[in-house]
Structure 1
Amino acid sequence: MSLAQHDEDSGTATHPETRGIELVSDSERHGRARDLFFIWAAPNFSILNFTMGATLILLGLELWQALLVIAAACCLWVLPGIIAVSGPAAGTSGSVVTRAMYGLRGNKVFVAFVGWFIGAVFLSLTWLASSFMGADLLGRLGLDDPVWVPIGVTVVVAAITIVIAIFGHGLILRVYPLVAVALAVIFVLVAAFILPTVDWQYTAPAPLTGIALWSSISIGFTILASNPLSYINSPDIARYLPRSTKPSHIAAATALGGALPSFVFTSVGALLATGVGVDGFAAGIDAVIFEMLPSWLGPVLVVGVVLNTIALNSMTAYTSSMSLQAIGLPLKRIPATVIVGAVGMALTIYLVTASTFLDAVNLMMQFLVVVSGPAMAIYVVDALRRRFAYDGLALFDDRRGRAYWYSGGWSIPGMTALLSGGLVSILCLSTDLWVGPIAQATGFIDLSVPAGTIVAAVLYTALSRTSLAKDSTR
């Protein structure tokens, strides 16, 4: 292979990456585990964290209760860290590795519905953030059309995002550390102006007790937990690391990169809400923050939101393009990336015209756990059960009777655990649009995350020990 072809396959900061789900050979492996810290930190210096933190106070929690919920949810970042190890082990994307869990045919269904759903939600949510913030800033400059200005911001940010996703891993590896540092500075500055408004003696207007308290805690935990549980794409980012990289280092760098900024700035969002109060958010969290900042910092924050949006969505579009390939569509990675971007942009434009930012975030984050929680649990169980010993070549062997053919191309343990976990999550979910019968019976306590993940993990573990899970890799 020529050097030019190598650059095109693996991607550099100056060449688009053409490799999709194809195996990464040992000669093309590069980087260190600690590089993952900055790659995962950049997308999590986010205004979404402010929004979710403020939501905990709006749900009626005391400040100390909100901080404990944030800490508990951030602990879930260890799960994307664990499954990230499967990337270098298999030498391919997570959307291919999951063939070991669902079978060659079952995985196509899983990736089409679960992978695409998660990707579309996060593309739209983060583009939505930049749309509202950018529109607010432009409105202060005289461009105040409530529909076309947010749509215009969405289109511009989406275009930049897709370009970065096309260049792929090489550009992400080079640029994200710089983006992470820039975002850290911006959000620390914003936090510095928010903190003087904090009511450190804050007490909820109507302190919650008993079932009502646990209902608010559980709903808030579900919203926050949906963020780490959604990153089933973490193997895609780690797959270029040398095979000899220590699994513990991969897991730690991934988990800490996501957890640290998430904890800090979700906590700042909760602190922000203590000073503003429930009524203060009527105009939207973007307007609230702008009012607290000096005139020079408002535009800087918008730049930060846009940078964060581009960082998160470039990663999402990058990995979602490989999901399209894993489904079996005859697409190269770059055209697949363009399609992913178009779908996400269309959903964002719909949300811009149909909802407020805070409502859209909370509702979609809650529904996200129905699929992301069980899927993450199954992946973690499978990775630990196999000790990350995935055979990359076998994962691509789609002939009948081969390693991951299972029962007619379907893994009964994987599909049963996924559907059962998802069903239990739905029954336990408590949102404005849907309250499951179990949630109703418990007084609107949302147990969708623990119930869905535990059911999926236990079922998959048990069924994997039966003849239903027989494959030739063990």
Structure 2
Amino acid sequence: MTTTPSPTSSAALEGHGVERAGHPETRGIDLVPAEERAGRPRQLFAVWAAPNVSYLSFAVGGTLILMGLTLPQAVTVILAGNLLWICTGILAASGPAAGTSGSVISRAFYGVMGNKIVLVLTGWLMAAAYLALNWSAASVAGIALAGRMGLPRGSAVDAAVICLIAGVTLLIAIYGYATIVRLYAALSVLLTVVFIVVTGYVLAEADWSYAPARPLGGTALLASLGIGFTLVASTPLSYSNSPDLARYLPRDSSPFAVAGWTALGAYLPSAGFTAVGALAATSLDMSDPERALESILPGWFVPVFVIAVVVNTMTNNGMTAYSASLSVQSVGVRLARIPSVLTIGVLGTAMTLYAILVFDFLTSVNTMLQLVVVVTGPAMAVAVTDLVVRRNRYNGADLLRQEHGGPFWYHRGVHWPGVVALVTGGLASLTWVTTSFWTGPLARAAGGVDLAIVSGMAVSALVYWAAVRVLRTVPRC
């Protein structure tokens, strides 16, 4: 039940009212008061489904077959890699508990000052890189559609398409939480319908008896399975922003329901459509996913598919830009949330222009997805471990205190167990990662087997748990 805040409520004193769909969100990282919290955990299903009805899933699924995996092997990797959405769901449960953004909650594991340094990497640069990755996917499709409409090909038109897509995406982030919840509920249905139609045509063309010309075995098979797992699992690991979309729920919301609806909403479309991409590659050349899929679609449906790809990317990046703007504030930059959105948007747009006009799209996608897990895997492991150790007991008011001697100041503003766990996990992951331009020494010694995610997350979780137990920096709840 939603209550109407009185004129003397904390929301009124801070200049905030109840956030409404269709109006720019005014709240930044400040605490969401109880009278402005409403909704049920199940609404998170559509919020997470819409951005994961994704064209990139088709591309990643196709890549698994191009790597030499059989269809059963590819599907096994897809189902296993997407299980890491459970981590995203668990992290979402801290949103209602704290009532503030994930970039503030992370002060609990890195300290007030340590968190600022970590957020520059995970909240700014990483967010801008993912904006560029997804905008690149949309831009490839949008540029092709512009060509179908008779517009001349060239860098100027390409840049205009990229900037248009980026501009509309940033509007979603500016309008914020209430608009995202309302809009994504409808878009998740529409996008699913379009992608199911595409799936129907893929199933009709799929070679169910497909076998690679040279089946992999031994170390070569293990290497491909490891790289494939890293590609698939990199997506859920990138969503450390799940508390941001859950913080407006009532504090007494079931953490199991919050975690479950978040994970399920992301898992089902991500796993399903990545598997469709693998099926498509049994009969199509998925080295150019857009052209391959368009070749089996009727002409009238191709523009519908392209528009769906662009819209899906906007939903994905709308969430990313929204959370990145909160990270900017959490670091201490004195910008309101909307200028923060624009700042991150400009950086992401610049990276997109470089990726599209300079690099090959699919190469950019695969390289980035394999490499970012060196940071995102350990960061996710630290966050989930802290939540488990604290039993999800976060106090938003305490987290927002940044003064010397505050509850999350720790030692000179740094919580060393979190920082050391992140660094050691990252180093462990780096030794096991395999990309087109860097192979870690342990991965090289093992014949190219990629264990970046498993090693990085295991080391970070173990180091953090052991350190807080020995140093007693986290109170036992």
Which bin holds the TM-score, normalised by the shorter protein? over 0.9
Which of 173, 176, 197 pairs up with 1:165? 173
CA 1:146–1:209 in 2, change beyond 3 Å: closer, same or farther? farther
- Tell me, yes or no, if the aligned pair for 2:468 and 2:474 is still in contact at 8 Å: no
Q: Does 1:470 align with 2:473?
A: yes
In structure 2, the residue matched to 1:345 is 349
Q: Does 1:22 align with 2:30?
A: yes
Q: Please state whether the residue corresponding to 1:114 is helix, strand or coil.
A: helix
After TM superposition, the structure 1 stretch with the greater mean CA deviation from structure 2, 352-361 or 262-271, is 352-361
* Cα distance in 1 for residues equivalent to 2:83 and 2:335: 37
- Tell me, yes or no, if the aligned pair for 2:417 and 2:468 is still in contact at 8 Å: yes
Deviation, structure 1 residue 14: 2.4
Q: Does 1:127 align with 2:127?
A: no
Deviation per CA, 1:266-308: give whole Å up to 9, x if none.
Answer: 00000000102xxx345x2111111111111110011101110
After TM superposition, the structure 1 stretch with the greater mean CA deviation from structure 2, 147-156 or 32-41, is 147-156
Deviation per CA, 1:146-183: give whole Å up to 9, x if none.
Answer: 42333221111111111111110010111101000000
In structure 1, the residue matched to 2:281 is 273
Tell me which amino acid in the other structure corresponds to 1:165: A
Which of 234, 259, 270 pairs up with 1:251? 259
Q: Does 1:371 align with 2:379?
A: no
Tell me which amino acid in the other structure corresponds to 1:435: T
Q: How does 1:3-402 map to 2 (within 5 A)?
A: 9-276=17-284, 280-282=285-287, 284-402=288-406
- Tell me, yes or no, if the aligned pair for 1:10 and 1:18 is still in contact at 8 Å: no
Deviation, structure 1 residue 471: 5.7
* Cα distance in 2 for residues equivalent to 1:396 and 1:176: 29
Deviation, structure 1 residue 126: 1.1
* Cα distance in 1 for residues equivalent to 2:425 and 2:220: 25
Deviation, structure 1 residue 393: 1.2
- Tell me, yes or no, if the aligned pair for 2:59 and 2:286 is still in contact at 8 Å: no
In structure 2, the residue matched to 1:438 is 442
Q: Once superposed, what is the RMSD of the aligned Cα atoms?
A: 1.6
Deviation, structure 1 residue 10: 4.7
- Tell me, yes or no, if the aligned pair for 1:403 and 1:472 is still in contact at 8 Å: no
* Cα distance in 2 for residues equivalent to 1:10 and 1:356: 45
Gaps of 5+ in 1: none
Deviation, structure 1 residue 473: 8.6
- Tell me, yes or no, if the aligned pair for 1:20 and 1:332 is still in contact at 8 Å: yes
- Tell me, yes or no, if the aligned pair for 2:57 and 2:277 is still in contact at 8 Å: yes
Deviation, structure 1 residue 357: 1.8
Deviation, structure 1 residue 466: 1.9
In structure 2, the residue matched to 1:403 is 407
* Cα distance in 1 for residues equivalent to 2:217 and 2:15: 59
- Tell me, yes or no, if the aligned pair for 1:229 and 1:369 is still in contact at 8 Å: yes
The count of residues paired between Structure 1 and Structure 2 equals 469
Q: Please state whether the residue corresponding to 1:275 is helix, strand or coil.
A: coil
- Tell me, yes or no, if the aligned pair for 2:89 and 2:259 is still in contact at 8 Å: yes
Deviation, structure 1 residue 421: 0.5
Q: Please state whether the residue corresponding to 2:343 is helix, strand or coil.
A: helix
* Cα distance in 1 for residues equivalent to 2:187 and 2:296: 24
Deviation, structure 1 residue 118: 2.5
Deviation, structure 1 residue 24: 0.5
CA 1:322–1:78 in 2, change beyond 3 Å: closer, same or farther? same
Q: TM-score, normalised by structure 2?
A: 0.96
Tell me which amino acid in the other structure corresponds to 2:415: S
- Tell me, yes or no, if the aligned pair for 1:7 and 1:17 is still in contact at 8 Å: no
Q: Please state whether the residue corresponding to 1:194 is helix, strand or coil.
A: helix
* Cα distance in 1 for residues equivalent to 2:20 and 2:272: 32
* Cα distance in 1 for residues equivalent to 2:214 and 2:155: 37
Tell me which amino acid in the other structure corresponds to 2:55: I
In structure 1, the residue matched to 2:3 is none
After TM superposition, the structure 1 stretch with the greater mean CA deviation from structure 2, 323-332 or 389-398, is 389-398
Deviation per CA, 1:82-134: give whole Å up to 9, x if none.
Answer: 01010110010000000000001000001111122331122111111111011
* Cα distance in 1 for residues equivalent to 2:474 and 2:358: 48
Deviation per CA, 1:386-417: give whole Å up to 9, x if none.
Answer: 11101111112222222111111111100000
CA 1:123–1:290 in 2, change beyond 3 Å: closer, same or farther? same
After TM superposition, the structure 1 stretch with the greater mean CA deviation from structure 2, 60-69 or 397-406, is 397-406
CA 1:220–1:10 in 2, change beyond 3 Å: closer, same or farther? farther
Q: How does 1:449-468 map to 2 (within 5 A)?
A: 449-467=453-471
* Cα distance in 2 for residues equivalent to 1:10 and 1:345: 31
Q: Please state whether the residue corresponding to 1:459 is helix, strand or coil.
A: helix
Tell me which amino acid in the other structure corresponds to 1:129: A
- Tell me, yes or no, if the aligned pair for 1:42 and 1:180 is still in contact at 8 Å: yes
- Tell me, yes or no, if the aligned pair for 1:169 and 1:237 is still in contact at 8 Å: yes
Q: Please state whether the residue corresponding to 1:465 is helix, strand or coil.
A: helix
* Cα distance in 2 for residues equivalent to 1:241 and 1:450: 32
- Tell me, yes or no, if the aligned pair for 1:15 and 1:167 is still in contact at 8 Å: yes
Tell me which amino acid in the other structure corresponds to 1:184: T
Runs of 4+ with >2 A deviation:
1-11, 140-144, 146-150, 469-474
* Cα distance in 2 for residues equivalent to 1:65 and 1:224: 13
Gaps of 5+ in 2: 1-5
